[in-house]
Amino acid sequence: QVQLEESGGGLVQAGDSLRLSCAASGRTFSRWRMGWFRRAPGKEREFVSAISRTVSTTYYADSVKGRFTISRDNAKNTVYLQMNNLKPADTAVYYCAADYSGVGHYTTPETYDYWGQGTQVTVSS
């Protein structure tokens, strides 16, 4: 069994920064590909960012490229999402997800095996 717990969300103003954390427990963290998704009110869940097992490759949605940075610390079993220059359009519940097989496409939610409960990010204008 794998547990993922997000933290770091909150209410900020446009232009501010937040750093989300996702702490993992269970199976060997370094073997998972990790992703961040978000769901805004009334919208479908969408891909935000992902990072490979070896930290060598990162991926970003076009909407966050240049503003968000994903990283991971395998020694701490934690993945991070640094979010800079936040915009009201970034308001959503943010979820981290873990993919053990590494087979599916990183933007597809069905690729991921485990999900956290989510953390709310609200950006006011």
Backbone angles phi, psi at 92, to 5 degrees: 180, 170
Tens of pLDDT along 16-55? 999 999 999 977 888 899 999 999 999 999 999 999 987 6
> What residues contact 87, with CB distance under 8 A and at least 6 apart?
14, 123
- As given in the structure block, the two tokens for residue 30 are 């370094």
| Distances, alpha carbon 101 to alpha carbons 6, 31, 43, in Å | 22, 9, 28
Q: Cα separation of 88 and 52, whole Å?
A: 28
Give me the pLDDT at residue 53, please. Answer: 86
> Is residue 97's pLDDT more than 80?
yes
**Structure tokens that stand for 7 in this block:** 């933290």
Give the residue, 29 or 96, on which the prediction is more confident.
96
Contact 115, 96 (CB under 8 A): yes
